[in-house]
Amino acid sequence: MQMAENVLATHQLTKTYGQRPAVCALDLRINRGEVFGFLGPNGAGKTTTIRMMLGLVRPTSGWVELLGRNVADDGGLVLPRVGALVEAPALYPFLSGIDNLRAFAAPLGGVARRRLDEMLDLVQLGNRKHDRVRSYSLGMKQRLGVAAALIHDPELLILDEPANGLDPAGIVEMRALLRRLASSGKTVFLSSHVLSEVQQVCDRVGIVSEGRLVRLAPVADLVAGAGEFEVRLTDAAAALVLVSHEPWGGGARIDGGVLVTPAPDGRGSDLTAYLVAAGMAPDQVVARRQDLEQVFLSLTGSAQAGLQ
């Protein structure tokens, strides 16, 4: 089987400030074409890591490999192939959306008008491109920042908190944009505190705590349940007594009025048949899943799912 190509990798990446470690021996591999979520509580080292990836901060030790090259040695060659949005985009409020993109394109030698129009259409700002940015909502400004990062058609997009400060409608807009980018073949490295959105758009996530990687896994694996099922039926308490006496029923419990239990041989169909045979036909049997926030909190011990 052919190995996936790494677009971005960190090798024992470490950054300390005096005696304080910000990032500790971080090893990541980001595959071409995936959407990768980078998560951690406040002060976990996420923004410091991103700044090292972009050559803005020098590592204390270790190194960043970007598109097959060491950023410290060959940043001038590979960084033009990367688009980045780090924190809030620096926009010109008295210029229109398209004139902002022209300003961002100028250091690149200019970009064809058709390309600018395509980027504004991609982020769904085509009908507002001649409006001054001061009239844009926060979500529109964030999307314009993404458009600016995409002007030169980068292979990799690094987004640090693209949903920061957005209202629910803006978050939905950003989610749709990230899905469009992924479907167009872009590789996206995403740091976000909106864990429900990360769960919906990312293929894999890396979770850091106190500068160290504590989990790296596909999102589907992280949110998969532990072989348990949620059972809705008329008398959950009686069903709990019944299944608790079975060798496979260890850990069965009532949660919010719903029976949560393992199943015979791990199959929901067998659990349904068992309950029907016992005269307790269930209304619903579904596999139990975790959400990403629960996983995040259990791994980091954070009181809240906020990121720096």
CATH code: domain of residue 212: 3.40.50.300
**Are residue 233 and residue 190 in the same domain, yes or no?**
no
Please provide residue 50's backbone torsions phi and psi, each rounded to the nearest 5 degrees.
Answer: -60, -40
Co-location of 82 and 28 in the same domain? yes
pLDDT of residue 304: 44
Q: What is the mean pLDDT of each run of 10 residues along the chain (308 residues)?
A: 73 93 95 92 90 95 95 92 85 94 84 90 91 92 90 91 80 83 88 85 92 91 80 93 91 89 88 93 86 81 47
Which residues, in sequence order, are CB contacts of 83 under 8 Å at separation 6+? Answer: 149, 150, 151, 152, 154, 156, 157, 158
Alpha helices in 133-231 (DSSP H): 138-150, 168-183, 195-201, 219-223
- Structurally, the chain folds into a number of domains equal to 2
Q: How far is CA 23 from CA 50, 152, 193, 213, 298, in A?
A: 11, 30, 19, 9, 21
Note if the pTM is more than 0.75: yes
Domain limits for position 275: 229-287
Beta bridge partner(s), residue 96? 132
Give the E-state strand segments of the chain in sequence order: 6-17, 20-31, 35-39, 61-66, 69-70, 82-86, 156-160, 187-191, 204-209, 212-218, 229-232, 253-255, 258-261, 284-287
The predicted structure's pLDDT at residue 1? 38
Do 26 and 52 sit in the same domain of this protein? yes
Residue 142 CA from chain centroid, whole number: 16
**Same domain membership, residue 169 and residue 42:** yes
Secondary structure of the chain: what % helix, strand, coil (to 5)? 40, 25, 35
What pLDDT shows up at residue 106? 85
Q: Are residues 267 and 187 in the same domain?
A: no
Residues 111 and 203 placed together within one structural domain of the fold:
yes
Residues 124 and 154 in one domain: yes
Complete DSSP assignment for 217-243: EEHHHHH--SS-EEEE-S-HHHHHHHH
Please tell me whether residue 262 adopts helix, strand or coil conformation.
coil
Together in a domain, 61 and 159: yes
Question: Same domain for 100 and 215?
Answer: yes
In a shared domain, residues 205 and 238? no
